[in-house]
Amino acid sequence: MPTLFDPVRAGDLQLPNRVVMAPLTRNRAPNAVPTPLMAQYYVQRASAGLMITEATAISHQGQGYADVPGLYGTDQLDAWKQVTDAVHQRKGLIVAQLWHVGRVSHVDLQPDGQKPVAPSAIAAKTQTYLIKDGVGHSVDTSEPRALDASELPGIVHDFRHAARHAVTTAAFDGVEVHGANGYLLDQFLKTDSNKRTDDYGGSIENRARLLLEVVRAVAEEVGGGRTGVRLSPVTPANDISDDNPQALFEYVVGQLAPLKLAYIHVIEGATGGPRDLADRPFDYAALRSAYRAHGGKGAWMVNNGYDKKLAEQALAEGADLVACGRPFIANPDLVERMRKDAPLNVPDRATFYGGGAKGYTDYPALA
């Protein structure tokens, strides 16, 4: 049986261990441009088998929170290149998570104060994060407008464009398409947020169409072996749900299987919350089996509330990679601590979002 510390291949990427740093939004990129402090943050955690960046907007329209980074401007790409260069000097691997928030945004964050976009004009009962006069605060998201079908090729193009420049300009080792947590691609997937009557709404095949078009375009652009996809079948994050998630996501992974992706990244249960939801049962083993049955050979990555014991159990049951989020915030050397069964630092929730070095790069490593 593999251990957390054994190497593994994920598409074109050879990972030194199986502990992945999950994407963690930290709101420390003013004007959507990464900073030298962010480079320090990622370098500190470069012993992870793979690091997935904080969610990074593919376009100005894709922005949904204050001070999150982007991949659509020269200054952003140049700044990310400094991050990846520093990580590679430490022999680390890092992929960029490609993000369009859809309706989870606010007019203050959108180009020219326009409405956010969504599959249907249904507001999300959730909040986003704004910073005014240096102070961060949460506000209700703005009412979105429904995307016209003629705009959807442009969304696909934005993902493709961001992927190409992430790999060729910013020198990332690959990319992850964010299709989870109630953001744009997930909004198209799920019945409560997608009430369309065209080719992108109604049936499972239609609702999955945009996600699949995006992933195929990205894989074509940078190679399937450098492309991952993040899915969250039943999370209620950002006011999202589906009438039949088992059938929906087994269809999705079956369609992803032929693309020879690096990995499938699955959030089990509620993002950052319970792993098992009584009102939303889901068979994750069946999901993995559906992917394999359709010929999918990418690494299977599990995520949500994993400690060392649970992670080892997941590997024994067929997972290839285990993503850890909050433990990496407070433990830059999480892999070494797991290896030695050392105690973990406790993260300071008050410093998760926004701010500077405090609660970001000042957590101690083992002596």
Positions marked catalytic:
183
Task: List Cα–Cα distances, 140 to 104, 107, 188, in angstroms.
Answer: 9, 11, 21
Nearest to 64 by CA among 166, 147, 142, 170: 142
Nearest to 220 by CA among 264, 173, 161, 150: 161
Alpha-carbon span 364 to 367, nearest angstrom: 8
> Do the Cβ atoms of 27 and 129 come closer than 8 Å?
yes
State whether residue 301 is helix, strand or coil. Answer: strand
Task: List Cα–Cα distances, 198 to 150, 185, 192, 205, in angstroms.
Answer: 11, 16, 16, 12
Alpha-carbon span 323 to 356, nearest angstrom: 25
For residue 87, which amino acid is it?
V
